[in-house]
Each structure stands twice: as structure tokens, then as C-alpha cells.
Structure 1
Amino acid sequence: MLNKFNKIEQTRSIFILKGVIVGLISGVLGSIFRLAVEKMTEYVQNFYVFSQNEPLWLILWGVISVVIALFVGYLIKGQPHITGSGIPQVEGMLEEEVHYRWFPVLWRKFVGGILSVGTGLFLGREGPSIQLGASVGQGLSNMYHSPKYEQKILISSGASAGLAAAFNAPIAAVLFIVEEIHHTFSPLIWLTSLVSAIIANFISLYIFGLQPVLYLGHMQDLPLKYYGLLMILGIILGVLGRLYQKNLLDLPKWFNKLPIPAAFYGIVPLVLVIPIGFYLPQLLGGGNQIILSLEENHFPLLLLLFLFLLRYIFSMISYGSNLPGGIFLPILSLGAILGALFGEFSISYLGVEEYYLKNFIIISMAGYFTAIGKAPLTAIILVTEMVGSINHLMPLGFVSLIAYIVVDLLGGHPIYESLLDRLVSHKKIANTNEKTTIEYPVTAESVLDGYAVRDFSWPKDTLLVAIRREQEDIIPHGDTILQMGDMLIILTDSQHAALVKKELRQKTLIK
């Protein structure tokens, strides 16, 4: 028994060391990517300010924008998996539904992401950062000649490091991997991901400073008497979040009507952003500057409504064009505008004190993100780390819960899961006999708790080979009783792995 525990501790130490290496490389790469995007966006904004006095320069910029679109389109044609945020692709790799080589994706995503996000489009840096980190983890696992389970752990830890470097939110990065990517809790995954995220975050803090990304200063605690307003806000965010999901998933239907190849759809937003940049250069980018300005300026209601509609529509155009860029930050900025809109209305007509405006902004970011991503824990901790205050955890949780329930009742699914389903819906899987193992947990709401192995109707082409219970691996027999907390190790064919997971979720979920 002592030898078994020593072996487990040794395994953890090895993964901690590998997590440090993944975090170091991903942190440096993600920080360079973030710095390049911020500097390019700053230069582009300054150019638009300059062009307001010399508008003829816009002709040259229009030509440059088309050249950028064609170049990024060339990168996409060479490696289609660099399109969009990259999060569905990472999730697909971990579920063995998507396969690509790491280095062509890494350098193309890096260059294409800087050119796409840095030109001022309404895209976020976090999605590309996650895929860059995941590619680092995949590359290192290839160098180590890692088995498949270890490769998945290193890819997950790289993704976590990428998100931590993008937003200085290491705890939210780990939660995102557990809650959004894996949907299960694995000790080795969270431990390695936490190590990578902390290391990457340290590097990012060294470069960008200790101040949180969306620091809004000190906030008053929101009184309980306003929780009725928060319930209304949560309902609104849930409804609008579901609308966002539908519109985002319908984008290919609209873009496919364009008479140009899909790889070059980026021409559309890169040309349309020019008048926005000329008249409103301060609105360019993912939206973090917008969020910071909402509380300072107290915009009129009509202007806030205009800002929301503009950012909503153009973020759809930006993301639907297949350019490398994420939706994390655009979603948070839309949520912040909705919070400011709701807060200003409450201040003007419902007697709410003016200094609570920033509370509504922060709370709404988490609620809107929850409604779209259906990852409430990630949303709550992400916003908390980004604004640098824990005073609002209770209202954040309350609104996120309401928004989650509303979008669930409206039939919404996690947006990245839906994007992955769309990505692989027409993919033909080769008929191979390569075997793989998947891990599936017995959770509190699972019907497997208390079942004998022989009494459950297991999916076809599967074999339960082991049960990991606490620190012990159990070889299962027909009369072995499954317990909550067990991690099931299931052998199946590689091409069936994702379908087996989905079937298990359907069969084991208590209805």
C-alpha cells in the first residue's frame, strides 16, 4: 500500500514539473501575443484619430485592410482549425473528434490572431490564447512521447495557462477547463492546470503589472433590498443570452451567401470596421476600454442602447467571418453595457443610488457570460479576478443562477459545445481500430451511484477496465457496486469515444 501511495505522489510530482514547463512557455507566448494585440490596437486607434484630419489616408488603410484579410485567409486555407476562438477545436481534440498538428496551428493562430484582433475588430484575445497554450501542451507531449491520457492533461494545462495569461485570472482558467472543457473533475487535470495557470499568470503580471485587467476601484456592497431588481436583471440577461446563442450559431447561414470563399470572409469586417474606427476609434477592440469607461462617464440611456446594438451586431460580423479571435471579452463588454443600461435606468427612475452603477456593470458581465456559456462558476470567478474585488460574490452568484435557469428553460446549450457540434457535424471519421480510454465520473446526480456493474446497460463497443476510488484502482466485476466519487476508466475505439461520453451522460443523468 505504501508503495502505491509513493507511486501516486511521484506521478503528481512529475505532472507538476511538466505543468511548470507548459506554464512557462504558454505564459511567455500568451503575454507576447497579448502585448502585440494591445500595441497594434493602440496604433490603429491613433491612426484613425490622425485620419480625422487627413481622411485621404483611409484609402491606403482600406487597401492594407484588404491585404491583411487576404493574408489571414491564406493562413486559414493552410490550416482551417485556426478559425474563430479555437476553444471548440481544443475541446474537440480532448474528445478526439478533432485532429490537427500543433505547430502549423500555433504559428498561424499567433500571426493571424494578432492581425485580426489588433486591427480593432470586436474580437477577444482569450480564445486564441487558449488555443496557443493548448498547442504548446500538445507539442510538449509529442516531445515527451506521452501516452494519450497525458497528452490530454498537458493540452488542458496549456489551455488553462493561455487563459490565465490573457486575463490574469488563474483560478477562473482552471475552472474553465473543468467546467466548460471537460465537464468532469480529474485530480491530475486540475492540479497540472493550476500549476500552469499560476506560472503563466506570474509571467503576465510581471509584464503587465499587478492591477487587475478590469479594475473599477472600491465598490459598496449592494443592499438586499435591491435583489428584486437583480432577479429582473437575471431574467433579461438569460433571454438576451439565448438570443446571442441563436444568432451566433446562425452566422454561417448568412455568410455562406457571400460570393467569396469562406477563408476570405474576413474582408467584410475589416472593411466595415473602417467607418467605425474613423468616427468612433475609442470603440475598437474587444471591449475592455468600454467596460472601464462605463462607470466613469454615465452615458445617457439612448447612447448605451446604441453602443449595445453596435457592439452586438459588429461582434457577430467579426466572429462570423472565421477570423482568428475570441468572444470572451466581447461577451463581457456586452454584459457590462447591459448592466450600465439597467443601472442607469434604475438610478434615474427607481431611486437607486448612483454609486451602485458599477455593481450592476460587474454583476451583469457574469450573468450574461453565464447565459451564453452556461458556466456559472467560471463566470463568477473570472469577473471577480478581473475586477479585483470579492464584495460582489453573492449578487454575482444570484444573477448568474437566474440567468442560467432562464437560458436552460429556453433550451440553450453551452455555446462552445454547440460550436463544436457544428464543427464536427459533417466530419467523416476514419474506420480505425485504435483503442483509447475515457474517464467518466460517478457524480451525485448519476443513476450509477449504488448500481452493480452488471445491472447497467453499457454503451456498445465499451469495456469498463478499472474504477478509480480515492487513491486505489479497483478491477471491476459484475457484482462491483459503483459509488459516488468513482472515476470509471472505460476502453473504447477512438472514433467512438465522444459518442460514448454523450450516451453515458444521457443514460446516467437523473431525469
Structure 2
Amino acid sequence: MPDKVIEPHTRAAIPLAPSLDATLAAAHMPRQFRPLDRRVLWIASLAMALGVIVALVAQALTGLIGGVTNLAFYGRWSFAFVSPANNHLGWWVIAVPVVGGLIVGGMARWGSRAIRGHGIPEAMEQVLLNESRIPPRMTWLKPVSSAIAIGTGGPFGAEGPIIATGGALGSLLGQWLHVTADERKTLLAAGAAAGMAAVFSAPVSAVLLAIELLLFERRARSLIPVALATVVGTGVRYLLEGNEAMFPMPELAAPGLAALATYIVLGLIVGVVSVGVTRLTYAIEDGFEKLPIHWMWWPALGGLVVGVVGYFMPLTLGVGYSNIAAVIAGQMSLTGMLALCVLKLLSWSVALGSGTSGGTLAPLFTIGSALGGVFGLCLMAWAPWLHVDPRMAALVCMAAIFAGASRAFLTSVVFAFEITQQPHGLLPLLGACAAAYLVSGLMMRNTIMTEKIARRGVRVPSEYAADYLDQILVRDACSRDVVSLRATQPLSEVRPWLSAGSVAARHQGFPVLNDDGQLLGVVTRRDLLDLHTPDEQSVGSLVQRAPLCVREDHTLREAADHMVEADVGRLVVLGKTATHAMVGIITRGDLLAAHARRLREARHASRHFGRKAAN
């Protein structure tokens, strides 16, 4: 029979055996959570050094794109960053993207297939499935292939390849050094964010991009290194190119209430457009998958479309940063913006669907800003009482299409502000991007960033919430009805009791007390019923180690981690004030039961709002 069943709230805490008193807390307590430790100093130092390297690589890649562009479209040796739109090749311009596609296809086949696409989904996949290990060859294959694709007229932005290259460099650094998987993920995100910051002088949005698309968390130990990397990357850009806004535009006035409401409605419309753009891109990719030729040749076919469109609309060729600047500054006509929006979408979606190497940010910004500019001019002509500024409309639609397509909501808002430095644009940006995010979330399960890897069975976190177990203390979930056994009891006395099937006997673990009522350890039901152990052996002889403990003021997350690390299913709970006294037991079942309240609230809300919707 058990020594006693201790009723809750009616018994004194059980003291631990004197021999265990001095060492138990230090040896068998879970590690207390700390938001930061000295290890962060080392990772932050590496991240800052990485920021310098990635910023220089961004400059080199920009120069390489310029070199390929000058050679391919103008027949000259120069690394100046120029637009291919002013070429005089005539019909020969169609052949240039085709040649670029052939080269990229060959690099993908004999180098690495991972260079295809814009790189962020592949980086996300490595973070989620491969402990942030990106193959070292990607550090040069991705930027070179992207420079060839973009330099030969590919309608992509340079930022995607630079972000992917920065992430690859961070991952490579983490593989060279002795760091954990989490620290390697931080370095990958730091490199990617530094690349974005170095291209656009947008450090804050680069940090947000890392949080929303790469880190899948917001913790101090990862946030600080990433932030420092973006500061350093932006500082290098300031040193080399100055601190002017990436896309300067005339100062915008604060919008009135009618104009603000209009911008939010535009965000809703652009949200629908972003869903259509995403589905169109993947539909084209699915179409290429059905072609009866090797995927190596697909980028050349995509290049053919790019070349034909580029012949009729040269502005669609290349990164098109100057197009974005012209649209949001109000320097492009209605017909020019409409043609740019439609033809850039056609050229970019076919090229991206063909599997060539390039980015998504600049093309989406071009499409969104041109569409917004068209809306703005039409509203200014047809409804002047709304006081809609076409430049503001272009700005908010530019950000809203990226917010809807990628669901990087905060990144989109802050990025549009940082690259234009227009403070009066923040409120319309916030409203329009929120509206686009809402529509996208309701209409589309995956995003332009996650659809590809979701099809491969990778589940990408889309929402970040505080750990529920980290919000509950052990004292609120542990069992205080502790069924204990005496150390001197023989197994012949305990085994029949276990077989009787009483509620108390169905427990899976039992504290063992000596004759003075002091805790010696814990034995499991399996230990007690082991047929290889003779009946005459005492219960105390089965205790192999001091009990694994947790205090009342630990969280359930700390308790759960302690159980996993020790490979046990229960922990002795010690008092908060009398820290060497047992006050209860917490089991895996208690951890699961702690979720009951959350699930009850969710079910209640579902039933409540479900009835309202039905009515």
C-alpha cells in the first residue's frame, strides 16, 4: 500500500533528504530563461563584420550588373549602373535576354538548381529544414547568375540576389565557426538584412524583413545582431554613395480624411491585384513544368518573351529603379504608367515562372506604383473633391502590392517610408498595406514567397505569438495530490496495490520517502512492475538518481524543456519560499491540460461567431 495520499492544501511540504539538500537545486533544476547572455556579443560582432562584407558585395554585384548591361546592350566595357532602355540594338534586343537565359539555365543545371528564382523561398527552406545551412557554392553562383540575368535585360531587381547572397554568406560564416543552429540562422538573417539595407538605405525595414520572412521570431538574441548588421551595411552605403533617399520625390502634404479613406480603398483593390499577380506567376511556372523540354531551356524561352516585350517597351528591361522614381515623383504620363504596369507584369511573371535568377521586390514596386499612379490621375480628374495626390497613390499602391503578395506587412510600410523619406506618407501607407494584407489573407493561403516551398511540403510559420506555456507558472498547473511510497516497502506489498486499478495506483511516477518522511527520489510504474526485479527487493533500491525538480515559480515552458532534456515524464515541484521542500508533481499530462483553457476559449469563440454568422 502507498505510504499516504497527501491531500491538497492540508499537508506540510515534504523536506528533501539531507544528502541531497546541498546539490539538488544546482544539479537538477531547469535552466532559467535569460533573454541575453554574453554569447550575443560574439554573434553581434560577427554580424557587424558580415554587414561590412555584404555591403561591399552589394556594391560589387551592382557593378557586375552594370558591366554585363554595358557589354550586352552598348558594346562597351564599363561597370557604371545604367538602364538598358536606351539601347539602339533594334530587333537584336530580343536576342540578348535569350542568351542570358541560356547562360543562366546552364549554370543552374551544372552548378546548382537553387539559383533559380528570387532566392528568398530557398533561404526560408534552409532555415526551416536544414538548420540554416546554405551550400557554399551559392555565395558566388547566385550573384553571378543574377548579374547575367538582370544585365541581359531580365526584368528583376538587384535586391533579391543581394539578399540571397548576404544570407548565403551569413550561413557560410556560421558553418565555418562553432555556432548553434539558432546562431547560424541569426547570421543568415543578418547577412540578408544587411544586403537589403546596403541596396536601399533602409535599415529598419531590412530588420523587419528578416523578422517576417527569415527569423520566424522576435527575440533579443537574434534581433540585436541583425539590427547591428543593417546599421553597418547602411553606414557603408552612406560612405560610398551618400545618404540621400533611394527614390527621392517632392514633399507630400498630409492627406485629408477623404483622401485617406480613398488610399485605404486603393489598398483593398491592390490587395486583390497582389493575389492575382501571385496566382498568375505560379500558373505560368506550372505551365513551364508541362513543357516537353528540359528545364535548363526554360529561362531562354522566358528571355524570348522579355526581349519581345522589351523591344516594344524598353522601360521593362532591367531593374527599372528609375521607372519607380519617375512614377512616384509624378513624372510619367497616364498611358506610360498603364503600359509599364501591364507589360512589366507580363515580362516579369513569364521570366520568373521560367526559373531564371532574379528578384521580386523591384518588379512588384514598379507594377504597384504604376497602377497607383493610374488610379491617382483618374481620381484627380474624375473626383477632384477627394483631393487624391497621384504621387501618394503611387507610393501607397507600391507598398500595398508587396504587402499583399508577401504579407511582409510592417516591412512594406516602413520600407516605402525609408526609400522616400516622406513622413506624411506613413499614415496612408499603414492603412493601405493593412487593407491589402487583409484581402490577401482572406483570399490566398500562401504567399509569393511561400507557395513554392509549401508545394514541397514545407510548413512556413505565418503568425508569431507568445509561447502559451511560457505564460503559465508551474504552481498553477502541477498536481498537489502526491501519492508517495516508503523506501522500506517491499515490492511484494506494492505490486498488488498497483494491480488493483485504483485511481491513485494508475499514476505513472511515485516519490519515494525514507522513514523520516524525506524525499529520496522518484520511481516509475514500469520500474515497480519490472518482472526481472524480485518481490523481496525494496522500493528504495529502485531509486537510481536524485529527483529532477522544478520550482513553483518556473514556467511550464522551462518545465517542458527540462523534461525533454532529461527524458523524463514528471518533475518534483519545489516550493518558492521553502526551496528544498516538495509541494507537488508536474507531469506531461499536466502540460497538455494547461492548454485546455486556450482551447475552450477558441471553441467558445468559434461557436459564438459561427452562430452569429449563420443568423
Task: Indicate the SS of the match to 2:60.
Answer: helix
Q: 8 Å contact 2:259–2:386 — kept in the other structure?
A: no
Question: Alpha-carbon deviations, 1:307-342, whole Å to 9, x = none?
Answer: 211111111011111111110111111110111011
Name the SS for the 2:100 alignment partner.
helix
Matches of 1:489 and 1:31, distance apart in 2:
47
Decide which moves more: 385-394 or 298-307.
298-307
2:205 is aligned with 1:182: no
- The 1:130–1:295 alpha-carbon spacing in structure 2 relative to 1, beyond 3 Å, is closer
Structure with the higher fraction of residues in helix conformation: 1
Asked whether 1:21 is paired with 2:46, we answer no
Could you tell me which runs of 5 or more consecutive residues in structure 1 were left unpaired when the two chains were aligned.
427-437, 457-473, 493-503
Corresponding letter in the other structure for 1:24: V
1:96-118 C-alpha deviation (Å, 9 max, x unpaired) = 25876532111111110100112
d(CA) in 1 for partners of 2:400 and 2:35? 43
Q: Following TM superposition, by how much is the alpha carbon of 1:295 offset from its aligned partner in structure 2, in angstroms?
A: 4.6
Residues 380 and 388 in structure 2, CA contact (< 8 A), matched pair in contact too: no
Residue 431 of structure 1: aligned partner: none
Query: Which residue number in structure 2 is paired with residue 459 of structure 1?
Result: none
Amino acid at match of 2:264: M
Distance in 2, Cα, partners of 1:443 & 1:30: 35
Aligned residue in 1 for 2:61: 33
Is 2:200 the partner of 1:200? Answer: no
Could you say which residue in structure 2 is the equivalent of 1:469? none
How many Å separate the matches in 1 of 2:102 and 2:402? 32
**How far apart are the structure 2 equivalents of 1:321 and 1:453?**
58
**Among 414, 419, 427, which residue is 2:447 paired with?**
414
Once the two structures are overlaid, the 10-residue window that deviates more, 98-107 or 110-119, is 98-107
- Alpha-carbon deviation of 1:148? 1.9
Assess if the C-alpha contact under 8 Å between 2:95 and 2:307 holds in 1: no
CA contact 2:100–2:152 (8 Å) conserved in 1: no
- Structure 1 residues 17, 309: CA separation in 2 closer, same or farther (over 3 Å shift)? same
- Rounded Cα–Cα distance in structure 1 between residues aligned with 2:441 and 2:336: 31
The residue that corresponds to 1:365 in the other structure is 398
Letter in 2 for 1:74: G
- Report if the CA contact (8 A) 2:342-2:367 is conserved: no
1:46–1:417 distance in 2 versus 1, CA, 3 Å: same
Q: Helix, strand or coil: the match of 1:252?
A: helix
**How much identity, in percent, do the aligned residues show?**
21
**CA contact 2:474–2:559 (8 Å) conserved in 1:** no
1:259 counterpart (275, 292, 301): 292
Decide which structure has the larger Cα Rg and report it: 2
- Distance, in Å, in 1 between the alignment partners of 2:421 and 2:120 is 25
The answer as to whether partners of 2:259 and 2:387 remain within 8 angstroms in 1 is: no
| Per-residue Cα deviation, 1:121-176 (whole angstroms, up to 9, x for no partner) | 21121221111111111121122132222211211111111211222211111111
The structural deviation recorded for 1:180 is: 2.2
2:251 aligns to what SS in structure 1? coil
Say whether the 8 Å CA contact 1:453–1:476 is kept in structure 2: no
Partner in structure 2 of residue 432 of structure 1: none
Residue matched to 2:137: 104
Q: Could you tell me which residue of structure 2 aligns to residue 344 of structure 1?
A: 377
**For residues 487 and 376 of structure 1, do their structure 2 counterparts lie closer, same or farther at Cα, with a shift above 3 Å needed?**
farther
Query: Quick one: which of 440, 443, 446 aligns to 2:466?
Result: 443
Letter in 2 for 1:71: I
Contact 1:19 1:192 survives alignment (8 Å): yes
The 5 Å alignment of 1:346-495 reads: 346-351=379-384, 356-423=389-456, 443=466, 449-450=471-472, 481-482=555-556
Asked if the contact 2:271–2:436 (Cα under 8 Å) also holds between the matched residues in 1, the reply is yes
Indicate if the aligned counterparts of 2:97 and 2:149 stay in contact, CA closer than 8 A: no
How far apart are 1:386 and its partner, in Å?
1.0
Tell me whether 1:73 sits opposite 2:114 in the alignment. no
**Equivalent residue for 1:160?**
193
Partner of 2:613: none
Which of 325, 345, 351 is residue 318 of structure 1 equivalent to? 351
Contact 1:442/1:487 (CA < 8 Å) preserved in 2? no
| Greater Cα shift, 170-179 or 32-41 | 32-41
Instruction: Mark the CA change 1:355 to 1:99 in structure 2 (over 3 Å): closer, same or farther.
Output: closer
Residue 519 of structure 2 corresponds to none
CA contact (8 A) 1:83 1:324 kept: yes
Q: RMSD between aligned alpha carbons?
A: 3.7
1:341 partner letter = V
CA distance in 2 between counterparts of 1:267 and 1:94 reads: 31
Structure 1 contact 125–325 (Cα < 8 Å) conserved: yes
| Unmatched segments (≥5 aa) in structure 2 | 1-25, 27-31, 76-83, 479-547, 566-594, 607-615
Check whether the contact 1:376–1:404 (CA below 8 A) recurs between aligned residues.
yes
TM-score, L = length of structure 1: 0.80
Per-residue Cα deviation, 1:382-420 (whole angstroms, up to 9, x for no partner):
111111222211111011111111222223433312232
Q: Is the 8 A contact 1:24 1:199 kept in 2?
A: yes
TM-score (norm 2): 0.67
Q: Give the aligned length.
A: 461
Per the alignment, residue 471 of structure 1 pairs with: none
Q: Which residue is 1:305 aligned to?
A: 338
